Amino acid sequence: MEQLKAADIKVIHKCTSVRHSLKAEKIGCDAVSVDGFECGGHPGEDDIPNGILLPRAAEELKIPFVASGGMANARSLVSALAFGADGVNMGTRFIATKEAPVHDNVKQRLVEASELETSLVMRPLRNTERVLNNSAVDKIKEIESNHRGDDPNSLLEEIRPLVAGSERVLRDGGALWVIGSYHNILRLGTSVQNLGFWILNDIIWHKTNPMPNFRGTRFTNAHETLLWCTTSRKAKYNFNYQNLKELNEGKQMRSDWHIPICAGKERLRESNNQRSHPTQKPEALLYRILLASSQKGDLILDPFLGSGTTAVMAKKLQRNFIGFEQDQNYIKLAKKRLKQTKVLEDEVVTMTKSRKDLPKVPFGELVEQGIIPPGAVLTDKKEKFKATVAIDGSLKIKDISGSIHQVGAKVQGLPSCNGWDFWHVKDKSSSKLLDNIRGDYRNKKIN
């Protein structure tokens, strides 16, 4: 306080109670902002609304005070003066002004909100905040109400990522990809988990043409690790399973990716043949990442854009993008590359819908429709097992009966089986997979 006074600075302290206001007066504050229970941000722990708090402050304080909390217009000013305050402090209302550097959607949300749309969070931590309701607030409230025990630190750990806003720019269920080698990936993995992200896979990018270990003192570093994460354990993330399977000639895509490092024509070089960027990523790597976890029209952020591989692939595949890069030269390179990048045609970029997004067709529907009539015989590919279709769409083999999945699992002695990929229908000349029969039926039904 001494230093502030010496520099001729006026001190207005924010207080949410009369006793704190008096303390502020005692230590030499010039004025206080008295904040009632209504206020946005930190309303304190006493929950006394302005109708009671302001007259009480007026009775006790000698220094001037401004009324704060829910003050938004001339009406509030008049009421504050009537309560004994010397002016008002307007907080939230300013966010919705033209001049505030805040996204229009946020302003709109504030303007449209009714008086019922704020919540108090972090009460158990005695650091209560009044906040505008949104999905992050819902999650915090859920965590708070499920939290057992009285260790505030463990609760703080649980809600820290939500309060800190680390999920703010990534939509719920969005994908976070991190890449690194042994220098940093283990620390990064710890950090993303501490931030509350949920790791879905770690992927080995096996560099098929790695740089040799020139001094011969260690193993050749022939891989980097990618972490594919989403916003939380329960998040509904996007995985284009079927499309990656297509990309891999009908086999499930695995977590080991064999892709050469960026070289040849793709590698940007200076006039003296030096590489323009030391860690330019191969386009194929970004291609696979985007194909796996994004859709046409999604917004991709690369906060370390370098020479722009992510943006180039995003543009090509009709995704939107934002990139951050601190080095002007790299930005120039990225811009030039982007200019030369052609957007792929709509019909090329539109991917086959994954099976789970297609309209559901239960096996029974094929039976009812007479496409696979009761009495038909289904076999596995090698025709080792033969099952008969019953009128209710169940399969029977000797004393085993159940759904196409259950019987498929039982005859193979497996815990589960996708019957659509196991059973075939044989006619005179050929044998057709159940899933393909369903595909044909579905196409006819849709068109």
Ligand X SMILES: C[S@@+](CC[C@H](N)C(=O)[O-])C[C@H]1O[C@@H](n2cnc3c(N)ncnc32)[C@H](O)[C@@H]1O
For ligand FMN, the binding residues (CB under 6 A) are 14, 35, 38-42, 68-71, 89-93, 95
279 binds, among ligand FMN, ligand X, none (CB under 5 to 8 A by kind): ligand X
Dist CA 16 CA 33 (whole Å): 8
Residue 33 or 307 having the CB closest to ligand FMN: 33
In the complex, minimum distance from the CB of residue 42 to ligand FMN, in angstroms, rounded to a whole number: 4
Which is nearer to ligand FMN, 61 or 131 (by Cβ)?
A: 131
Residue closer to ligand FMN by CB (options 33, 294) is 33
What is the distance between the alpha carbons of residues 280 and 103, in angstroms, rounded to a whole number? 33
CB atoms within 10 A of CB 23: 14
Tell which phi-psi region holds residue 149, choosing left (phi > 0), alpha (psi between -120 and 50) or beta: left
Rounded CA gap, 386 and 378, in Å? 6
Q: Given CA atoms 287, 291, 296, 301 in this order, what sign does their dihedral have? A: negative
306 binds, among ligand X, ligand FMN, none (CB under 5 to 8 A by kind): ligand X
Pairing, β 431-433 against β 424-426: antiparallel
41 interacts with, out of ligand X, ligand FMN, none, CB within 5 to 8 A per kind: ligand FMN
Give least dist CB 276 to ligand X, A. Answer: 10
Binds 167, which of ligand FMN, ligand X, none (CB < 5 to 8 A, cut-off by type)? none
- Least separation in angstroms between residue 88's CB and ligand FMN is 8
What tokens were used for 360? Answer: 């559901």
Q: Based on CB atoms, which residue is closest to ligand FMN, 42 or 332? A: 42
Q: What does 91 bind: ligand FMN, ligand X, none (CB cut-off 5 to 8 Å by kind)?
A: ligand FMN
Q: How far is the CB of 48 from ligand X (least distance, A)?
A: 45
25 or 35: whose CB is closer to ligand FMN?
35
Complex with ligand X: residue 22 or 338, whichever CB lies closer: 338
Q: Which partner from the list ligand X, ligand FMN, none does 309 bind, CB cut-off 5 to 8 Å by kind?
A: ligand X
Taking the least distance from each CB to ligand FMN, the nearer of 70 and 282 is 70
Tell me which of ligand FMN, ligand X, none is bound by residue 182, counting a contact when its beta carbon lies within the kind-specific cut-off of 5 to 8 angstroms.
none
Rounded CA gap, 369 and 359, in Å? 16
Residue number of the CB closest to ligand X reads: 306
Min separation Cβ 317 and ligand X, Å: 14
Q: Which string of b and e fits 332-370 if b means at least 16 CB within 10 Å?
A: ebbeebbeebeeeeeeeeeeeeebeeeeebebebbbeee
Catalog residues that contact ligand X under the rule CB under 6 A.
279-281, 302, 304-307, 309-310, 324-327, 330
How many other CB atoms sit within 10 Å of the CB of residue 248?
Answer: 12
Tell the smallest beta-carbon distance from residue 292 to ligand FMN (Å).
38
Terminus-to-terminus CA distance in the chain, angstroms?
77
CA dihedral sign, ordered 167, 168, 171, 174: negative
For residues 158-189, one letter each, b for 16 or more C-beta atoms within 10 angstroms of the residue's C-beta and e for the rest, the string is bbebbbeebbeebeeebbbbbbeeeeebeeeb
User: Which residue, chain included where needed, has tokens 């260690």?
Assistant: 218
- From ligand X, ligand FMN, none, which one binds at residue 355 (CB under 5 to 8 Å depending on kind)? none
d(CA 107, CA 96): 5
Compare residues 106 and 284 and give the one whose CB is closer to ligand X: 284
